[in-house]
Structure 1
Amino acid sequence: MRRQPLRVWLVQQGIWAMSLESMPLASGYLKATALADPVIAADTEIVIHNFDGEATLFGMANSLFGDGAPDVLAFSVLGWNYREFTALAETFTQLNPAGWVIFGGNHVSGQGDRVLTANSGVDVVVNGEGEFTFRELLRARLAGAGPHELHDIAGITFRDAAGAIVSTVDRPRSENLDEIPSPFLSGVIPMTDAQGRFPYDVALLETNRGCPYKCSFCYWGGAVGQKVRAFSRARLRAEVELFAQHRVHTLVLCDANFGMLPGDRDFVADVVAIRERYGFPRSIEASWAKNKSRVFFDIVKTMKEVGLHSSFTLALQTLDEGTLDLMNRRNMKVNDWEELAAWLSFEGLDCYAELIWGAPGETVESFMKGYDRLSQHVSRVAVYPMLILPNTTYHQDRARFGMVTVRGNTDDFEHLISHDTMSPSDNRYMHRFIFVSRLVAENPVFRHLWTPLRVLGGISQSTAIRSLMDWFAQDDDPACEPFRTGMTNSFTDSDVLAPVLVHVYGTDEAKDLLRRWWATSLRPLVPPRHREVLDTVVDYDLLTLPAYTAPGRAPSCRYAGEHLPVVDVDGEPHHVLRDVRLGCDVPAVVRALRRGEPHEPAVRPVATDLYFKAGADHFLPSTNHEEVLYYMGRTERQVRRLPDRPIPETRSRSDVRSGERGSPVG
């Protein structure tokens, strides 16, 4: 008599609440590798359960166990879902005391002692790459082994029969990554939902694994200081072609340093060829190589020539030399960033930079100095508070830096309170700064304002952000309340920021409030001859925010998608706002200022249609600024990918002043 198949549930939970799913890549690798074994495939049922950041414990428990508990429950654990998954493990052991709970993932790898000591419901912790370890665990379970008899499986931590915690020898990393079956080509990760549509926000793809650097704050899957290993070109091309057939707009590469290997150039060439055939993908987002080589510049040149978009990232983290030393990043060529940033800006390529607040050695003064130096070249600056991650240098040497930390309210990260160069009051102040800077500069509510404000108004980006901080705190308008609440939260994270972003994107009330801040706090500081230009830039930035209405709410924005006609642009639906009249050609003004060219010729009234890609609600509420950027309004020239219009000959100053400053009309 054939026995019932072994039932195995793989569980993932993303960080964001979105109407689209986050692709379950880790679970897909595990399932594809396990089912490639004929013994497992014959006697095992493996199901992926993929939850978003809004899922509750009660909802997840009912979804997982509504029809009974499986035999094996395996979780892909990260800091934001650790607490939920330990609670679900406890529930599972009540339902199936003989079942196995397996934890794997970045947050628990190498942390078996802590995890098993604190959680009696967890049986096994997987250390390092998990595909082949997971397959061996399932083979052991099918062979009748108990959870205390796993001494022969490399790369795990478990309890032996006496209750002692045992860690087996490390498993060598896979040298030939193609031995790991593709979760896409094998069909393990479905490419369509019940309506036949691609169900994910983006396509996640690894082209390689490993990172040669050893930054003090980073763990990157345990692959720091490791040889970089790549998947084959043929496999990657087949995966990208599958995504293109399903009209995937954006590929997000889960590599530590894309653009470092010569094969990365070949990958982009293949993406370009596939897009020529299918029209997709349209964008590649990546953690770009820290050291920019000829390979990187060749890739950027190719992508610009064919209109393949990306947000080119400068992952600087800090510009303070003493802090760089403690980060183990002082000698990285990433620090020679200014020429690269100037080149990207001159070429009109979208670029953003990342900084970390709270690194040992950093002070408020040194951070602000670096922030303003960086924002002279890159206005879209993402500032993140430092988290102390397991297995990192900062985690291991915390006493050396005098670190005081606390675990998060809803996550298992260690959040910094203070250290030798950062007081608690400094940290509180900077979290307010982070909230406002992420809101208006990273996501970004203001995209064009910063360069004209600095060049024409003489006001630095940090000064403007601090002005907005003060205004939110002091203004008595009830409309400021969401902003004040966000600023006074104990820690700046996506859950705090996302509701305020929704408020700004989706309501005229919030946009009008930002206009009032501009008019009362910053405009008086601008030289009078430049005020009208900057007025127009502010209006343009707020007008071109996504055409968005929060789900379940009536439209509360004049230019919500419900109020605008939809047209097809290059195979994708766009809302269009006709005959928008502005006091100047804002993109041309900003382009001229970034290049150090005269901007006056572009200061004249213009009329244009604005196009907003439809579907912003798929990414909101979230803080996925790389994707939301594609839903910002663009001029007809931009959306049709027409060459920049030459700036006309300079007119007289009186002609410029006499042009009537228009206002948007629908």
Structure 2
Amino acid sequence: MRSLKVSLLELPLYANTLPLAAGYLQAYAEQDPDVARSCHFTIHAPEVRTSVDDLVALMLAAEADVYAMSCYLWNMRRMKEVLDELVRLRPDAYFILGGPQVMNYTAEYVPPSWENVVVCNGEGEQPFTAFLRELAAPTASGPDFRQVPGVSFWSDGELVTTDKPTRIKELDEIPSPFAAGIFDGGEYVFAVVETNRGCPFRCSYCYWGAATNDKVHRWELDRVKADLTWISEQGIESIFIADANWGALPRDVELTRHLVECKERYGYPMMVTIQAAKNRPDRVTEITEILVDGGMLTSQPVSLQTLSPQALDLVQRANIKESTYVELQLQLKEKKISSYTELIWPLPGETLQSFQEGIAKLCATGADAVVAYPQLLLRNTPMYERRESLGIVTVRVDDPVAEADVVVATNWVTQEEFQAGAWFYYAVISLYNARAGFYVARQLDRSGVCSYVDFLSRAADYYKTRTDTDICRFFADSVSSLGNYDINNIGKVLHYVLQSHRGEMDRLLEDFLAEQGWLADPRVRMAFELDLLARPYVYREAVVEPTVPLRHLRVVSRERYQFEVELPAAAAELLTSLETVDGLPAVDPVRLRLDHGGRHKMPYPRRRSLDHNAAYCQVMMNRMRDILPVWAPVVPDVVAGALDAP
């Protein structure tokens, strides 16, 4: 057998990420005695924004005979640049590419002259092992990639594609890379973990179910526990459980408890992220409560995606019940656990009106926060195959590392309506999620003066006219440049509205409400003033009085994190109809303490970049319940001796 140096390259989003996919490939391949004897493996996982020059230098230094590259939407542009350079500089080496971005699209990335480059078209373990075995075999004619299952490659100008192997059903055929020592000695901060593979749903925008809908296969329970224990012992701070539906299996509760026990024993992991089961609110609530009590989870996503029946049907998600999400949200609220509801804009079948009405429904039912992600058109999904019939129009984001195609129009949404939806969502982030107009919107809606849809639509239209403000200029730039593709974009809105441009938001909101004529109503004015004081602080910093005058409320005193506020009885009555305030005395005026101390806040890091602060703010929006202020009556001091006995 020929001796081979094999280098596996992953480009994760975050530095110090454990390279799970590469670990699986190596562990599976080393089961083959011939591969184990002939191949020496190294794994490289620098973060995706590492420069091309540095990445090429890293891979050249490995002096590998074989380069294996994991290709995803978020790293494909950078990976393609690295591949181009390596093929040019190492024409004697062999390359194998895998991942959803390249599978079945060999011709787009590999020119016919590159006969030393192979693309894997499915699950990678079996093709990768067969590829290495073929390269290591000493034959006079060279390797015959027709013997490798599930790959595409060029041969004499012809694109050859071999039959795919069946999915691995007994997942324990893949040895644990943790137990094999493959990750030993690595300095990892973040880890992705699988306990099963597959998804029973067929959501057309998602590769997960489209590729694995036949059945969910799982690793043996004790093996998973041992892998999780290894992660805990190594002090890895954060893990993402990459199962499509965590909580779908009864054993997921047991594994969650095991994670908490590991943290109690070793101190890690400190944070866990999950993809919650779609139709098991009872089990998901139980799991969330276990993780929250264990200090490993602060907020639970509720992945609704859309409230439009037409859209749910078109994206093959109609079998996931809306009532399930409503029940989950209510259960989390009862247990005082933060949650946020996830939507996608614009899914096929979703109109601008249905998108706005869906968000308004969530606001009216008291969702903690609403997160609307841009619709990305992903390859190898049913939606990608139907893109023409669905009228899907995309724009590729100007990103130096990713190949992200954002959907900007469908048969149901024009590009102008797509932008209107984006403007509407910026009104949602600033006025509802960030709580700048939370009380006033609720008062207008329930009094019948203006619905949530109209309130947020009017605010979005008003924002378009106020390009004299930094906040609205940021919205305009984000809409025109598809800035909401950046995961930190929402966090930047929070940073502006709750910290750096807090005073500007005060004035912007007052001007908007005044233009609508609503501030002439005393109850609306009181709700507006309650919002001015109760808008949360995303950082642990001293409270400041609003930049617009208060006409009904009065700030009596101010401590570092607290206001003492005097309210007329009418304002107090309004507040208790909008918010739970225990023990409110029946006096006029009423004195309340508004405590902005909150939990888990960090001080404002003035020397950090906006992107750094935005990432923090994004996280804090998703756990909004933790930073909301608390209203409480001021208990007067009892004067000693006032009730002396006669």
Does the Cα contact within 8 Å between 1:612 and 1:631 map onto a contact in 2? no
1:550-587 alpha-carbon deviations (Å, 9 max, x no partner): xxxxxxx999xxxxxxxxxxxxxxxxx994113479xx
The equivalences for 1:9-158 within 5 A come to 9-15=7-13, 20-65=15-60, 67=61, 69-116=63-110, 120=114, 123-144=117-138, 149-158=144-153
* Cα distance change, pair 179–353 in 1 and its aligned pair in 2 (3 A): same
- For residues 326 and 248 of structure 1, what CA distance do their matches in structure 2 show? 40
**Higher CA-based Rg:** 2
Q: Secondary structure at the match of 2:342?
A: strand
Q: Secondary structure at the match of 2:133?
A: helix
Q: Report what 2:644 is aligned to.
A: none
Q: Secondary structure at the match of 1:373?
A: helix
Equivalent in 481, 494, 498 of residue 486 of structure 2? 494
- For residues 211 and 319 of structure 1, what CA distance do their matches in structure 2 show? 21
User: What amino acid sits opposite 1:103 in the alignment?
Assistant: L
User: What amino acid sits opposite 1:515 in the alignment?
Assistant: D
- For residues 584 and 156 of structure 1, what CA distance do their matches in structure 2 show? 69
Equivalent in 170, 175, 179 of residue 181 of structure 1? 175
* Cα distance change, pair 179–558 in 1 and its aligned pair in 2 (3 A): farther
- For residues 332 and 422 of structure 1, what CA distance do their matches in structure 2 show? 24
Q: What is the CA distance between 1:317 and its match in structure 2?
A: 1.4
Equivalent in 507, 512, 517 of residue 508 of structure 2? 517
- After TM superposition, the structure 1 stretch with the greater mean CA deviation from structure 2, 49-58 or 102-111, is 49-58
User: What amino acid sits opposite 2:512 in the alignment?
Assistant: S
- After TM superposition, the structure 1 stretch with the greater mean CA deviation from structure 2, 231-240 or 52-61, is 52-61
- For residues 340 and 299 of structure 1, what CA distance do their matches in structure 2 show? 12
1:597-634 alpha-carbon deviations (Å, 9 max, x no partner): 87957971245755535898799367587755699896
Does the Cα contact within 8 Å between 1:77 and 1:106 map onto a contact in 2? yes
Matched, 1:244 2:244: no
- For residues 180 and 369 of structure 2, what CA distance do their matches in structure 1 show? 39
Does the Cα contact within 8 Å between 2:426 and 2:460 map onto a contact in 1? no
- For residues 319 and 494 of structure 1, what CA distance do their matches in structure 2 show? 24
- For residues 161 and 575 of structure 2, what CA distance do their matches in structure 1 show? 57
Q: What is the CA distance between 1:107 and its match in structure 2?
A: 1.7
Q: Report what 1:6 is aligned to.
A: 4
Q: Secondary structure at the match of 1:355?
A: strand
- For residues 273 and 98 of structure 2, what CA distance do their matches in structure 1 show? 26
Q: What is the CA distance between 1:310 and its match in structure 2?
A: 4.6
The equivalences for 1:376-525 within 5 A come to 376=364, 377-410=366-399, 411-434=402-425, 437=428, 446=434, 452-456=439-443, 458=445, 463-464=455-456, 467=459, 470-471=462-463, 474-477=466-469, 481-490=473-482, 492-494=484-486, 497=489, 500=492, 504=496, 509-522=500-513, 525=518
- For residues 431 and 254 of structure 2, what CA distance do their matches in structure 1 show? 37
Matched, 1:328 2:316: yes
Query: Is there any run of 5+ residues in structure 2 with no aligned partner, and where?
Result: 545-557, 567-572, 637-646
Does the Cα contact within 8 Å between 2:306 and 2:355 map onto a contact in 1? yes
Q: What is the CA distance between 1:496 and its match in structure 2?
A: 7.6
Does the Cα contact within 8 Å between 1:28 and 1:189 map onto a contact in 2? yes
Q: What is the CA distance between 1:347 and its match in structure 2?
A: 2.1
1:497-549 alpha-carbon deviations (Å, 9 max, x no partner): 279469649x95433333332343358846645756765655565523378xx
Q: Report what 2:549 is aligned to.
A: none
Q: What is the CA distance between 1:331 and its match in structure 2?
A: 2.6
Identity %: 25
Q: Secondary structure at the match of 1:398?
A: coil
User: What amino acid sits opposite 1:384 in the alignment?
Assistant: Y
User: What amino acid sits opposite 1:320 in the alignment?
Assistant: S
* Cα distance change, pair 163–265 in 1 and its aligned pair in 2 (3 A): same
User: What amino acid sits opposite 1:136 in the alignment?
Assistant: A
- After TM superposition, the structure 1 stretch with the greater mean CA deviation from structure 2, 490-499 or 423-432, is 490-499
- After TM superposition, the structure 1 stretch with the greater mean CA deviation from structure 2, 125-134 or 328-337, is 328-337
* Cα distance change, pair 471–236 in 1 and its aligned pair in 2 (3 A): same
- For residues 247 and 460 of structure 1, what CA distance do their matches in structure 2 show? 50
Query: Is there any run of 5+ residues in structure 1 with no aligned partner, and where?
Result: 194-198, 548-556, 560-576, 639-643, 652-666
- The TM-score, its normalising length taken from structure 2, stands at 0.79
Q: Secondary structure at the match of 2:202?
A: coil
Matched, 1:315 2:310: no
Does the Cα contact within 8 Å between 2:583 and 2:633 map onto a contact in 1? no
- For residues 113 and 452 of structure 2, what CA distance do their matches in structure 1 show? 46
* Cα distance change, pair 56–409 in 1 and its aligned pair in 2 (3 A): same
1:265-286 alpha-carbon deviations (Å, 9 max, x no partner): 1111212322332343344321
- For residues 147 and 457 of structure 1, what CA distance do their matches in structure 2 show? 76
Matched, 1:171 2:165: yes
Does the Cα contact within 8 Å between 1:7 and 1:72 map onto a contact in 2? yes
Q: Report what 1:654 is aligned to.
A: none
Q: Report what 1:580 is aligned to.
A: 561
User: What amino acid sits opposite 1:412 in the alignment?
Assistant: E
Q: Secondary structure at the match of 1:252?
A: strand
- For residues 102 and 522 of structure 1, what CA distance do their matches in structure 2 show? 59
Q: What is the CA distance between 1:342 and its match in structure 2?
A: 2.2
Matched, 1:233 2:217: no
Q: Secondary structure at the match of 1:412?
A: coil
User: What amino acid sits opposite 1:492 in the alignment?
Assistant: N
- For residues 596 and 37 of structure 1, what CA distance do their matches in structure 2 show? 64
- After TM superposition, the structure 1 stretch with the greater mean CA deviation from structure 2, 34-43 or 379-388, is 34-43
Does the Cα contact within 8 Å between 2:492 and 2:617 map onto a contact in 1? no
Q: What is the CA distance between 1:8 and its match in structure 2?
A: 2.4
The equivalences for 1:345-360 within 5 A come to 345-360=333-348
User: What amino acid sits opposite 1:13 in the alignment?
Assistant: L
Q: What is the CA distance between 1:257 and its match in structure 2?
A: 0.6
- For residues 104 and 584 of structure 2, what CA distance do their matches in structure 1 show? 59
Q: Secondary structure at the match of 1:157?
A: strand
Q: Secondary structure at the match of 2:147?
A: coil
Equivalent in 216, 222, 226 of residue 204 of structure 2? 216
Does the Cα contact within 8 Å between 1:13 and 1:81 map onto a contact in 2? yes
1:155-203 alpha-carbon deviations (Å, 9 max, x no partner): 211223x23112212122222222323333433235653xxxxx42x33
* Cα distance change, pair 347–496 in 1 and its aligned pair in 2 (3 A): closer
* Cα distance change, pair 79–649 in 1 and its aligned pair in 2 (3 A): same
Equivalent in 612, 617, 625 of residue 620 of structure 1? 612
Q: Secondary structure at the match of 1:137?
A: helix
